[in-house]
Amino acid sequence: MTSDKKTISLLADLFVKKGLRHIVISPGSRNAPIILAFANHPKINAISVVDERSAAFFALGMAQQTGKTVAIACTSGSAVLNYAPAIAEAFYQKIPLLVLTADRPPKLIDVGDGQTIRQENVFANIIKKSYQLPLDVNSDEDLKDVNRQLNEAIYFTQFPEAGPVHVNIPFDEPLYDVVSDGPMATALNFEENNKEISGNTEADFLDDWHNSRKVMLIAGQNQYPNQINELLIKISEEKQVVVLTETTSNLSHPGFIDCIDNVLTAIDETESVNFQPDMLVTLGGAVVSKKIKKYLRQYRPKIHWHLSPSGEKRDTYFSLTHSLAVYPLDFLQKVFSQLQVHGENYRKLWIMKKKQVEILRRQYLSQVSWSDLKVFDILFKNIPQHSMLHLGNSTPVRYSQLFGSLSHFKYFSNRGVSGIDGQLSTAAGSAYANRDLHTIITGDLGFFYDSNALMNNNLRPNLKIIVINNGGGGIFRFIPGPDSSNQLEKFFEAKHSWKAELIAKAFDINYFKAEDEKGLRDVLSLFYAEASRPALLEIITHAEANAQILRDYFSFLKISSH
């Protein structure tokens, strides 16, 4: 059985023919045809999540793990707007979502009808493509046109780079009628844009490389194939090359500079120019480190090439000179055999500084008192290996950069937009789609803000939630400006005395707590032994001590390295 609305029954059929399976639906009435078409299909896994904002992030987490397009569907009106944060994150992080929004008929827009807003192109600035389907399909030609639009919509969720696509679908009443068979969809194939580059462009890149004594390559957030890691290891062995990565890059090797903030802190102003690259090559998504952005905006490279399948002009460091629409792995493999080595040992300069700060970091951590910094040190040494590790915004993802990339973790974080909304929901969706162990480390405000993530009957026992509760938004005690404002505690930090225990109890989440180093070490094994349901560990630290200890940490690196 399927809905009698031809547009949506056609989409459900095409969805399956395109090899897709998952849709996350929030309850409603206007989206009843979507529910009937998708939830009744034997080859579609329809998941119910009540809160639209959480539902969209849950789907984002699923798509993040599978790499396949996941659909989300909601009723009309303000429900649609609740999708916006996750759509923005998917857009900037390049996660494939098919956004299906039920709508009123055009005649009911702006006449005072309930649950009605202007939904066509409502996500215009944060979406790859938008489609408005017709209310009625009255001819074979109409059906053919809808079939083409839906094929395009699914295609653009993946190519040339992944991202969200919106399909707005008006439905007239009655909404609940079904038929035994709907129209059959035709799966269309589209020619992907040719990513071959001209010989002149390749020659220009090689000329820039060979004319540069110091080459820096920065890999931003991504789940790169292992071949890129292996290739970058080889490239990083060239004397004039340094490769910078972060935990969210998911690239790992001792020859990479994977703790950027530590290293830059230890670079004295008198030697800063020595670390300045002549040529910068970037790939991947967002970079967490504000220090590298500030450094390269001040000490700009003469040449900056950005590599991405879509050819986006990502000018993070205000120095972009070339943007190539290429697959980075294919392009770098092609030019690698032609790269020439120079005498300048730029790599050694960075590696020596990295080794120096690694020694200093261990020294500082060996004597640091109970604080967020100490908590992260303990967690990274005790979270089970081969975990999927989700890092909340703002402080957790920043703290992780101080410890470098641990190859036994896969790192995830909502760094497309870097908001605190939806980080727990994303981890929950990831744990649903992938049965490996998933740990999310979040701050207290991020947890409380997204606590509706626990209002979900699809939570898996492989989801482990660690909430570091220091009584407010700790990041604002570190940022110059808010830390000295007389409004810090009320408006920036949002100081509070809330605890997570009763929230965990309300949603049948097993609760654990730690308030000191011994308590944390003792409880971790029990926390991870819970196998029947999700578990939450609340770690209590103190905001004032955290801020001072982190400032002292950077001062120690800066002073001790000279």
Rg of the chain on CA atoms, in Å: 25
CA distance 65 to 338: 35
pLDDT over 90 percentage in the chain: 90
Average predicted confidence (pLDDT) for the chain: 94
CB atoms within 10 A of CB 206: 14
- Confidence check: pLDDT of 435 > 60: yes
- Confidence check: pLDDT of 180 > 90: yes
pLDDT for the residue 554 = 95
pLDDT for the residue 492 = 61
* pLDDT tens digits along 513-539: 999 999 999 999 999 998 999 999 999
Same fold, 2-178 and 199-352: yes
Q: Hey, what amino acid is at 150?
A: L
- Name the CATH code of domain 2-178 (choices 2.40.50.140, 3.40.50.970, 3.10.20.30, 3.40.50.2000): 3.40.50.970
Strand 215-219 versus strand 164-170 pairing type: unpaired
- CATH class of domain segment(s) 199-352: alpha beta
CB atoms within 10 A of CB 492: 18
Helices 346-367 and 543-560: crossing angle, nearest 10°? 140
Domains in the chain: boundaries: 2-178, 199-352, 368-560
pLDDT for the residue 562 = 81
pLDDT for the residue 197 = 67
* pLDDT tens digits along 473-529: 666 555 566 565 666 555 566 788 899 999 999 999 999 999 999 999 999 999 999
Q: Give the pLDDT mean for 180-187.
A: 94
For residue 192, how far is the Cα from the chain centroid? 25
pLDDT for the residue 341 = 75
* pLDDT tens digits along 345-385: 999 999 999 999 999 999 999 999 999 999 999 999 999 99
Q: Give the pLDDT mean for 312-320.
A: 96
- Specify the higher pLDDT residue, 201 or 261: 261
Report the alpha-carbon angle 510-514-516, nearest 5. 175
Contact 47, 429 (CB under 8 A): no
CA distance 527 to 463: 11
Contact 541, 371 (CB under 8 A): yes
CA distance 546 to 371: 5
**pTM metric for this prediction:** 0.95
pLDDT for the residue 57 = 98
CA distance 181 to 283: 47
Fold of the 368-560 domain: Rossmann fold (3.40.50)
- How many CA atoms are closer than 13 Å to the CA of 149, on its beta-carbon side? 20
Q: Give the pLDDT mean for 83-90.
A: 98
CA distance 128 to 161: 10
* Token pair belonging to 351: 């590696």
